[in-house]
Amino acid sequence: MNTLITLFWIAVAIALAMGAGWLFRTVAVSVTRGPTARALRTAPITAAFGMLVIVLYILTAIFAPVIAPYAERAVVGGQFLPWDSTHIFGTDNLGRDMFSRLIYGARNTVGIAFATTALAFAIGSILGLLAATVGGWIDQALSRLVDILMAIPSLIFSLLLLAIFGTSVVTLILVIATIDSTRVFRLARSVAMNIVVMDYIEAAKLRGEGLWRLITREILPNAMAPLVAEFGLRFCFVFLTIAALSFLGVGIQPPTADWGSMVRENAALITFGDVTPLLPAGAIALLTVAVNFVVDWMLHRASGLKE
């Protein structure tokens, strides 16, 4: 009986999610014009649901001080208070409001993950396109350096560097962006290698275009589709890496609200059958699934395949 009830509620949740995705797609198509509207009209319900979740997370991060009933670090009650009308999701191990911490966690965790991914892409894309365009010893040197860095497990390497340089937010962003840029470098170089042999690239070289203009005007626009799709995937990996490091105690440091550290701080409640620690874990999982839904759609569009 319990299994049937669980399956029923899962089916209800899926139906509500698909309905919300359909409604979001309908509204988005009605308020947009041109190619954007045509693209959204053909988007699957899963991609529409993913975009809806991403928009909600962004709005939550921006308006966190307005939405959250309490301050991020305010102690408002006793430790591990149960869910009630005053504290929707109870309190944590220090008596801070869990709902407020979840709201502020969206700003901190997602914001830092986005900044890290953007920096990783800036480094990896520029170096990858440069290596493919110039070739020669520059390509060999960068490629061998990337091979060495990729041979080291990324989580262990991150833990080592953070232990050496400290666990400030700036250090966290720089360390993870540097490690993750190696993956972006490999993709950018691979895509660019297929572009630099095209006739229009040779024609641009014969026109006397400089290296920077060649990369930004000729190569990058034609490599943008796979890079944009990879950005979504990289964001998921970076997001999960930051959450894992925070769970291990070397990521975003307290008292800053972060979903990974919130799981660690309240993990003891699982022993008593309290699902509160699963809330930040669920927030991490929901955003990861939503981004992957959107990325799958973008990859499908970039491949040129038809439904």
Domains of the chain, by residue range, sit at 1-42, 50-303
- Cβ burial, residue 179 (10 Å; 0-12/13-18/19+): buried
Domain 50-303 in this protein, CATH class: mainly alpha
Q: What pLDDT, on a 0 to 100 scale, did the predictor assign at position 151?
A: 87
**Predicted confidence (pLDDT) at residue 159 exceeds the cutoff of 90:** no
Q: How far apart are CA 75 and CA 252, in angstroms?
A: 19
- Backbone torsions φ then ψ of 72, nearest 5 degrees: -60, -40
For 198-228, how does the pLDDT look when each residue is reduced to its tens digit (9 = 90+)? Answer: 887 778 777 777 778 888 888 888 888 788 8
Q: What pLDDT, on a 0 to 100 scale, did the predictor assign at position 239?
A: 84
**Predicted confidence (pLDDT) at residue 243 exceeds the cutoff of 50:** yes
Mean pLDDT of the region 31-54: 86
For 261-280, how does the pLDDT look when each residue is reduced to its tens digit (9 = 90+)? Answer: 888 888 888 887 788 888 88
Angle, helix 154-165 to helix 220-248, in steps of 10 degrees: 70
Q: What is the number of residues in the chain? A: 307
- Two tokens at 101? 């911490």
CB distance 91 to 76 below 8 Å: yes
Q: What pLDDT, on a 0 to 100 scale, did the predictor assign at position 307?
A: 46
**Predicted confidence (pLDDT) at residue 2 exceeds the cutoff of 70:** no
From the list 28, 13, 22, 26, the residue with the least C-alpha distance to 46 is 22
